[in-house]
Amino acid sequence: MKLTILFGGASFEHEISIVSAITLKEKLAGFNLTFIFCDQDHSFYLIDASKMKATTFSRGEYKKMPKLTLSSGTFVQKGLFSKAEHSSTVLNLIHGADGEDGSIAALLDFYSIKYIGPRIDASVFSYDKRYTKWLCNARGVKSLKHEELSLKEHNNIKIPYPIIVKPSRLGSSIGVSIVKEESELDYALDSAFEFDTRVIVEPFLQGVKEYNLAGFGADGKMHFSIVEEPQKNEFLDFEKKYMDFSRSEQVLKADVSKELESKLRTNFEKVYKGMFEGALIRCDFFVVDGEVYLNEINPIPGSMANYLFEDFAQSLELLANSLPHAKRARVNYEYIHSISKAKGK
């Protein structure tokens, strides 16, 4: 199968995206892969597969590689007297801003390029944790109570300590702090506001059970990964999540009852259907007193959560063959012609 891996982007998760792409090169060794890198200036480069290593990007060596532009249905490499097109299905592997906020989805839609990844509306509701809460409320999925703070307005927090403070539009636990008493709050807010102008505050649940489940829709039905119970201390910090992005070995299935697995799948499906078609996503859940709560949606999980699937390559191929097709308006100028004819012009 031919597949183009699009990675990089201008975000705080830029380096994580590079790690993800390098991991997928190994995991999808049987695919015919093309690698396209988006740098922090939003220029696109065609990366030689043999150069897919971290130093290619950290040392700026990618700038010596062919630069690409976009045209209808394809990325284009222009030479002095020739041009080459790279038109296989794109896998959006840009984490954070650009990739998960809807920017890349809009760009690929605009140029009618087929892609695996969240569409614009799905990106909006999963990228901003405030809007994820709204989605939960609309779809009957439980989520933790929360408060929202802005950079200009710091209301008194009513949620009792300990609390967890998160930037509203950032992943990989960047800028996240656990606050156990009021004296620690100002530092936590300063850390979060360094990355975003909006902050979410939630109760920090000690010893809570957490489970991850990935999945996608294809051939008219849902396809689920195994359920994982992530190993953690107090919470999955950046360093732990960073390592997750390079995982390629399948993890062990969590020891959960069929009843709980069914609840997790039901909630996942409520979130996914009618919103995330075309994407492979991972949902992270809390289980409190037998009730399932959505913690967050990962619309482009690290290394696409390959370690949760028994046959990730086959899953990706199944998804690639079941992508939604956007209906485009056809312009024929019938209205203008009818007016011109009525006026005798």
What tens digit of pLDDT does each residue of 88-143 get?
999 999 999 999 999 999 999 999 999 999 999 999 999 999 999 999 999 999 99
Confidence of residue 339 (pLDDT cuts 50, 70, 90): confident
Question: CA angle 10-169-160, nearest 5°?
Answer: 150
* CATH of the structural domain 123-142+206-320, one choice from 3.30.470.20, 1.20.1290.10, 3.10.20.310, 3.40.462.10: 3.30.470.20
Q: From residue 62, how far is each of 12, 49, 255 by CA, in Å?
A: 19, 12, 44
For the domain 2-116, what is the CATH code? 3.40.50.20
Residue-by-residue DSSP string for 16-51: HHHHHHHHHHHHTTTSEEEEEEE-TTS-EEEEPGGG
Q: What is the pLDDT of residues 60-85, one digit of tens each?
A: 999 999 999 999 999 999 987 888 99
Average pLDDT over residues 223-239: 75
Q: Is the dihedral of CA 318, 124, 108, 20 positive or negative?
A: negative
135-167 pLDDT tens trace: 999 999 999 999 999 877 666 789 999 999 999
Q: In the prediction, which pLDDT does 30 show? A: 93
Is domain 147-203 classified as CATH 3.30.1490.20?
Answer: yes
Fold equal for 2-116 and 123-142+206-320: no
Cis omega (within 30 of 0) on the bond before 167?
no
Q: Is 331 exposed, middle or buried (0-12, 13-18, 19+ CB in 10 A)?
A: exposed
Q: Note the pLDDT of residue 318.
A: 97
pLDDT at 232: 66
The answer to whether the beta carbons of residues 6 and 189 sit under 8 Å apart is no
**Checking DSSP bridges between strand 115-116 and strand 90-92, what pairing results, if any?**
parallel
Q: Could you tell me which residues are beta bridge partners of residue 209?
A: 287
pLDDT tens figures, 240-295: 554 555 666 778 899 999 999 999 999 999 999 999 999 999 999 999 988 999 99
Contact between 297 and 281 under an 8 Å Cβ cutoff? The reply is yes
Alpha-carbon distance 13 to 6, whole Å? 14
The model's pTM is: 0.90
Domain ranges in the chain are 2-116, 123-142+206-320, 147-203
CA distances to 55, 91, 191, 273, 275 from 283, rounded to whole Å, are 32, 19, 25, 13, 14
